[in-house]
Structure 1
Amino acid sequence: MLNDLPIRKIIHVDMDAFYASVEQMDHPDLKGQPIAVGGGGKRGVISAASYEARQFGVKSAMSGRLAEKLCPQLIFVKPRFDRYKDISNQIRKIFFDYTDLVEPLSLDEAYLDVTENKIGLPSATLIAKEIRQRIFNEIGLTASAGISINKFIAKVASDYNKPNGQKTVNPEEVLQFLEALDIRKFYGIGKVTAEKMYQKGIFTGKDLKSKSLEYLDKNFGKSGRYYYHVVRGIHNSEVKPNRIRKSLAAERTFSNNLSSEIFMLEKLNHIAEEVSRRLEKSNIAGKTITLKIKYSDFTLQTRSKTLPYYLSDKSIILETAKELLYQEKLNNSVRLLGISLSNLNTDKHSPSESASEDKKSVSVQLKFDF
């Protein structure tokens, strides 16, 4: 029964095409134009695309070369991350006027728990509307929002009426909403997993819900338990104001593909230096070093090694990255290298969310003022 589960009022706020919208706001001549932030040059990768560009199929993580083929009139804009961070901080100040339970996911999105809020407004729907209006009035940007009983449903809902819209999924609507949902819309189900589910006849939340926990565990491993619970409206993760960093990384995309490990050593030196600098700036260290390799055919490979002690020193990071580079033969020429450190000294070991989830399904009987 829903009464047995922690019922909260959660808002997920997601800025609309954030980086691109900031550029269009700061440069009026770009308004209404198809623009891409980043992606310039022969090897560039797009960080964000305006809605005008998205109509042509341009999207983030796409190569600039492909984006230009899809949209010949595309305008490439150099990223200004300091500016985006400044705007993000302004937006978060608005959030804190309503609740201290704010969990940023990135510069452009955050969860807010407004079950108990600073303005005493019982309706999370009205709070979300007011927050979005303030962002527009005080900053000049639009945002979308999802409102529901937990983080998972709120995040899914925030994508429903984009851009500049919001959707509330009331407690009595949760099961119907999830059953009708295309599994591609489930947060945590990526393209590869979605294709696998399609092959097994799982197209909607209702199809997913029909599968037993044993079936999902067998076919989708550790994620199976997560899918089993969320499709039943069960996701007890709290909004965490101080999210613990799980990893720190730096990477470089090269102007020309590299075909020999020898040519990569200088690049790794610069990347290791950047990782070390960020670690020291954040006053953290880690045990697990991962080398990321993206080949010219865009296939991705990672190689990791866990050391028996915490480290942040550049020389150790670099030597370990070299060891991982020479660990096995390269599959192809390389377009990107990255180094990340995880298993950080900021990690707190706690029971997994799935292990603490209540196994009961959500009841549709309880009415809750949203």
Structure 2
Amino acid sequence: MRSAPTILHLDMDAFYAAAEQAAKPSLRGKPVVVGGIGTRGVVATASYEARRFGVHSAMPVAQARRLCPNAAYLMPRFALYRSVSEQVMELLGRLSPLVEPLSLDEAFVDLEAGGVADDSASARRAGELLRADIKAVTGLTGSVGLAGSKMLAKIASEQAKPDGLVLIELGTERELLGPMPVRILPGVGPATGEHLRRAGMTTVAHLAEAGEDELVRLLGRAHGVSLYRMAAGHDERPVVAERDAKSVSVEDTFEVDLHDRVRVRNEVVRLSDRCVQRLRAAGRSGRTVVLKVRRYDFSTLTRSETLRGPTDDPAVVREAAGRLLESVDTTGGVRLLGVGVTGLADYTQEDLFAQAAAGERAQAEAQGAQETAETVPGAGEPVAAAPEPPQERRWLAGQDVRHARYGAGWVQGSGLGRVTVRFEEPTSPPGRVRTFAVDDPDITPSDPLPLVRAPAGDQAESSPASRPKSRSGAGEEISSP
């Protein structure tokens, strides 16, 4: 524990939904729900306007629609969210070299390592200036918690929501934590919480009163000791600038259960390729392939296979996932499939046996085709493929589009061969709505428009990072280790 509340936790407010409201003027001040838009989708984020109706994250979208039927239900646009997140993380990087991102919208910052704070007053000032800079650059709001530890800083930011700042002074930790439920502490999930409840412990104060020995008896030494220290407000985890990803995975939930084994296999191939794309984008390779199958009765099965060495070869991942699928009974129907890779590494040790087998198969296929061409008249001549019927273009709610005449807009909805588009931009007034045929050639998908605000460089003068640095008591500038 440090001597001043110089660990900052930033949590952007209803991030995905707030970004959509900033990008779509007609949705500002109205309920917005971002997530899977199908009947089996799950809410990723709900705006505060939607939360008043009881909508919250991880809720089935079907339930959310019953609670708040007039909300705008939009597909996620991660390209936009990543862009805004990069702007926010850049501002955090000006405060300190020690920034620990937890997700696109959440991070810890060690203000002491950046030399911008060494007491409560300077920490509060840095937090308030950060919130102002985020608002100026992105138009969004974030809540800030300041404390002497990561655990307390995160609790403080939760108390600060929405759009606020809470600083926990050193020495007040026990008084603050005492009445809170045990689930507020890191490492206390539903199972541990229920175990503690049966033992008569429902608040953090109960844990502190029980003592370390009793918690060790109930939970084991490692968990019991850690929980007792946290109940007393002690958390010595440092802010870590680099957090290595442990796995890369993708998954899809289907509108209708899949019963066709061939279709299931094709979906596994498609997910394998998407997973490898993410793996390569991160510059990583992986050693273990994991298949996730959720069946018609909501039972979830996982299967894994460890390869001879790390790989980022899509053929190797596809084949491994296919082998894993063979061990799963899908006859009752499949509602979700996922493919992941774990055991990540920064290098690739190609599976030479798999490559050799693939080469032998390709050579055998080529040789067989040549023999057929030599023995069967006309077999070697190209055959024109039968034309496939054109598929109806699919437009998803919230999708960015551009019209040759009306410019940039977004899809409000589609169905019965029609698509409805609202034409507006982040800096325009609420736009007009027009309806077109789904196959109208003048409408094309487009990339998200940036949330146009003052350029980040214009904020440098007002940013805490540009101000004179605080000094330690010894008169030397505080620097990162």
- Tell me which interval the TM-score lies in, with the shorter structure as reference length: 0.7 to 0.9
Asked if the contact 1:37–1:48 (Cα under 8 Å) also holds between the matched residues in 2, the reply is: yes
Tell whether 2:306 aligns with 1:309: no
For residue 115 of structure 1, give the secondary structure of its aligned residue in structure 2: helix
- Mapped to 1, the partners of 2:326 and 2:39 lie a distance apart of 28
Q: Identify if the C-alpha distance between structure 1 residues 19 and 330 changes in structure 2 by more than 3 Å, giving closer, same or farther.
A: same
- Output one character per residue of 1:247-274: Cα deviation in whole Å (capped at 9) or x when no partner: 1111111121124654421111011101
Structure 2: runs of 5 or more not aligned: 348-481
Report the AA paired with residue 334 of structure 1: V
After alignment, is 313-322 or 77-86 more displaced? 313-322
Q: Identify if the C-alpha distance between structure 1 residues 203 and 331 changes in structure 2 by more than 3 Å, giving closer, same or farther.
A: farther
1:163 is matched with 162
After alignment, is 188-197 or 200-209 more displaced? 188-197
Residue 228 (structure 1) shift: 3.3
Residue 231 (structure 1) shift: 2.0
2:251 is matched with 251
> With structure 2 as the length reference, what TM-score do the two structures score?
0.66
Asked if the contact 2:5–2:170 (Cα under 8 Å) also holds between the matched residues in 1, the reply is: no
1:107 is matched with 104
For residue 9 of structure 2, give the secondary structure of its aligned residue in structure 1: strand
Asked if the contact 1:253–1:335 (Cα under 8 Å) also holds between the matched residues in 2, the reply is: yes
After alignment, is 107-116 or 236-245 more displaced? 236-245
Residue 19 (structure 1) shift: 0.8
Query: Counterparts of 1:39-50 in structure 2 under 5 Å?
Result: 39-50=36-47
- Mapped to 1, the partners of 2:326 and 2:213 lie a distance apart of 40
- Output one character per residue of 1:285-341: Cα deviation in whole Å (capped at 9) or x when no partner: 122222222334544433333334212222222232233333354596321111121
1:234 is matched with 234
Report the AA paired with residue 126 of structure 1: R
Asked if the contact 2:4–2:118 (Cα under 8 Å) also holds between the matched residues in 1, the reply is: no
Query: Counterparts of 1:84-95 in structure 2 under 5 Å?
Result: 84-95=81-92
- Mapped to 1, the partners of 2:245 and 2:151 lie a distance apart of 20
Q: Identify if the C-alpha distance between structure 1 residues 224 and 69 changes in structure 2 by more than 3 Å, giving closer, same or farther.
A: farther
After alignment, is 80-89 or 112-121 more displaced? 112-121
Tell whether 2:135 aligns with 1:132: no
Tell whether 2:200 aligns with 1:176: no
Q: Identify if the C-alpha distance between structure 1 residues 313 and 27 changes in structure 2 by more than 3 Å, giving closer, same or farther.
A: same
Query: Counterparts of 1:67-82 in structure 2 under 5 Å?
Result: 67-82=64-79
% identical equivalent positions: 34
Report the AA paired with residue 156 of structure 1: I
Residue 117 (structure 1) shift: 2.8
1:185 is matched with 184
- Output one character per residue of 1:184-234: Cα deviation in whole Å (capped at 9) or x when no partner: 322343344433432332211122234565654565466545423322333
Q: Identify if the C-alpha distance between structure 1 residues 71 and 317 changes in structure 2 by more than 3 Å, giving closer, same or farther.
A: same
Query: Counterparts of 1:288-367 in structure 2 under 5 Å?
Result: 288-329=288-329, 333-345=333-345
- Mapped to 1, the partners of 2:285 and 2:85 lie a distance apart of 27
Q: Identify if the C-alpha distance between structure 1 residues 261 and 9 changes in structure 2 by more than 3 Å, giving closer, same or farther.
A: farther
- Output one character per residue of 1:91-123: Cα deviation in whole Å (capped at 9) or x when no partner: 122112211211111111110000143546642
Asked if the contact 2:4–2:147 (Cα under 8 Å) also holds between the matched residues in 1, the reply is: no
Counterpart pick for 2:12 among 12, 15, 20 = 15
Asked if the contact 1:53–1:71 (Cα under 8 Å) also holds between the matched residues in 2, the reply is: yes
- Mapped to 1, the partners of 2:205 and 2:52 lie a distance apart of 31
> How many equivalent residue pairs?
344
Q: Identify if the C-alpha distance between structure 1 residues 121 and 8 changes in structure 2 by more than 3 Å, giving closer, same or farther.
A: closer
Report the AA paired with residue 233 of structure 1: G
Asked if the contact 1:48–1:59 (Cα under 8 Å) also holds between the matched residues in 2, the reply is: yes
For residue 228 of structure 2, give the secondary structure of its aligned residue in structure 1: helix
For residue 134 of structure 2, give the secondary structure of its aligned residue in structure 1: helix
- Mapped to 1, the partners of 2:21 and 2:156 lie a distance apart of 26
Asked if the contact 1:57–1:70 (Cα under 8 Å) also holds between the matched residues in 2, the reply is: yes
- Mapped to 2, the partners of 1:173 and 1:255 lie a distance apart of 50
- Mapped to 2, the partners of 1:224 and 1:339 lie a distance apart of 35
Counterpart pick for 1:33 among 30, 34, 59 = 30
Tell whether 2:19 aligns with 1:54: no
Q: Identify if the C-alpha distance between structure 1 residues 189 and 325 changes in structure 2 by more than 3 Å, giving closer, same or farther.
A: farther
- Output one character per residue of 1:137-160: Cα deviation in whole Å (capped at 9) or x when no partner: 332111101111111211122111
After alignment, is 116-125 or 214-223 more displaced? 214-223
- Output one character per residue of 1:26-80: Cα deviation in whole Å (capped at 9) or x when no partner: 2121112111112322232222110111122212222221110121112112322
Tell whether 2:80 aligns with 1:83: yes
Structure 1: runs of 5 or more not aligned: 348-370
Asked if the contact 2:250–2:274 (Cα under 8 Å) also holds between the matched residues in 1, the reply is: yes
- Mapped to 2, the partners of 1:21 and 1:325 lie a distance apart of 39
Q: How big is the alpha-carbon RMSD for the aligned residues of Structure 1 and Structure 2?
A: 2.6
Asked if the contact 2:3–2:170 (Cα under 8 Å) also holds between the matched residues in 1, the reply is: no
- Mapped to 1, the partners of 2:286 and 2:166 lie a distance apart of 40
After alignment, is 214-223 or 42-51 more displaced? 214-223
Report the AA paired with residue 301 of structure 1: L
Q: Identify if the C-alpha distance between structure 1 residues 60 and 266 changes in structure 2 by more than 3 Å, giving closer, same or farther.
A: same
Residue 124 (structure 1) shift: 1.6
- Mapped to 2, the partners of 1:210 and 1:299 lie a distance apart of 40
